[in-house]
Structure 1
Amino acid sequence: MNEWLLIAAMTVLTFTPRYLPFGMAGKVKIPPILESALTFVPIAVLTSIITQSSLIREGELALHLANHHLLAVLSAFVTALISRRLFVIVTVGLAAFLMAKWLL
């Protein structure tokens, strides 16, 4: 009996905070300035993740040619400036990463 009570409590505690933002979405009016500011959140988070994972190696700043993550990011960035096609950008980035890892 205690196991079922525990499972029910965990279900409620897990479901409630996940449902509330969606359940209240139509009832809460977000100010236009906040809505405009929230459009920058995905790119800011993605930039933070990419920067941290490509520039920091073993706790130190790694701005050298032996950093294959950095070479892949730079090649993908240049490809994005030229192509602006997601498939091409991802393919070039992965190819650059694999070649740099294999050659270095």
Structure 2
Amino acid sequence: MSTGALLLTMAACGLVTFLIRFSFIAGGQRLPASPAFSLFLRYVPPAILGALIAPEIFPGGPVLADIPGNPRWWATLVALAVAVATRSVLATIAAGMLALWGAQAWLA
């Protein structure tokens, strides 16, 4: 494949991706959202965040091995406590990162 054909293919893929995403943004305001659908959408960001974080906490699957030596477990417990106490996403992320760095330094 020549360089020109490759660049044209990449530009076409980018344009198609943009048009698909833009259609939801532009057309979504014209469609009325039911209260049930709006309630459903409130759970999407926490579900995505959980899906991104879970593989880091459970690297070998659901087996809970080597908990005392795993700094991610300690950071998870601290972040969970901060999340329950403050209900602030920013405070939870900051506390979790600080706890992870501290646990990595302590357990290293």
Identify the TM-score tier after normalising by the shorter chain. Answer: 0.7 to 0.9
Task: List runs of 5+ in structure 1 lacking aligned partners.
Answer: none
Query: What pairs up with 1:53-72 in 2 under 5 angstroms?
Result: 53-54=56-57, 56-57=58-59, 59-60=60-61, 61-63=63-65, 64-72=67-75
Q: Quote how far apart the aligned CAs of 1:11 are.
A: 4.2
SS in 2 for 1:29: coil
> Hey, what's the Cα distance between the residues in 1 that align with 2:52 and 2:35?
27
> Does 1:78 find its partner at 2:70?
no
Q: 1:3 is matched with which residue?
A: 4
TM-score scaled by structure 1? 0.73
Query: What pairs up with 1:22-61 in 2 under 5 angstroms?
Result: 22-54=25-57, 56-57=58-59, 59-60=60-61, 61=63
Rate the CA distance shift 1:12–1:99 in 2: closer, same or farther, 3 A. closer
Rate the CA distance shift 1:6–1:39 in 2: closer, same or farther, 3 A. same
Task: List runs of 5+ in structure 2 lacking aligned partners.
Answer: none
TM-score scaled by structure 2? 0.71
| Overall identity of the aligned pairs, in % | 25
Q: How many residues align?
A: 101
Rate the CA distance shift 1:6–1:98 in 2: closer, same or farther, 3 A. same
Ranges of 4+ aligned residues in structure 1 off by more than 6 Å = none
Rate the CA distance shift 1:34–1:3 in 2: closer, same or farther, 3 A. same
